[in-house]
Every structure is written in C-alpha cells, then in structure tokens.
Amino acid sequence: MQKRRLGRTDLSIASLVLGGNVFGWTADEKTSFDLLDRFAEAGFNAIDTADAYSRWAPG
C-alpha cells in the first residue's frame, strides 16, 4: 500500500481514511471493534474522528 507523508511531518498515512463518526452511534461496540481491527489489519492507519458530519441527522 502506498502511503503519503502527512504535511511536513515524518508521519505517513494511507490515502484512504476511515470515517469513525458511526462508532457508538450506528455501529454498536462489537461491530466498531471488528471494523477497526479489519481496517488496521489491512494496513490502514488513519481515522477521521470529526463529529460534525451528521448535524443534519436527528440524535
């Protein structure tokens, strides 16, 4: 997998980032951990944790 340098740091991340906004909301705890485990096992290493994307959805 090709990874890209993050800004001017020495960190490298995959070009695909996992949206973590569903954890604990539409994905229960077991499903969330299963998704995270598979994501990491596949070599990905960046999770978007922003919580503003679902403002349009009630709750």
27 vs 33: CA distance, rounded Å: 9
In a domain, 54, yes or no: no
| Distance in angstroms (rounded) separating the CA atoms of residues 8 and 46 | 16
Return all residues near 11 (Cβ < 8 A) that are at least 6 apart: 5
Q: How many CB atoms lie within 10 A of CB 46?
A: 18
Residue 1 pLDDT level (bands cut at 50, 70, 90): confident
34 in any annotated domain: yes
Per-residue model confidence as pLDDT tens digits over 3-54: 999 999 999 999 889 988 888 878 999 999 999 999 999 999 999 988 776 6
- Residue 18 forms part of a structural domain: yes
Task: List, in order, residues 6 or more apart from 45 with CB less than 8 Å away.
Answer: 3, 13, 14
56 domain-assigned: no
In terms of residue numbers, what domain contains 11? Answer: 3-48
Q: Residue 49 carries which DSSP code?
A: -
How many domains in the chain? Answer: 1
**Looking at the domain assignment, is residue 21 inside a domain?**
yes
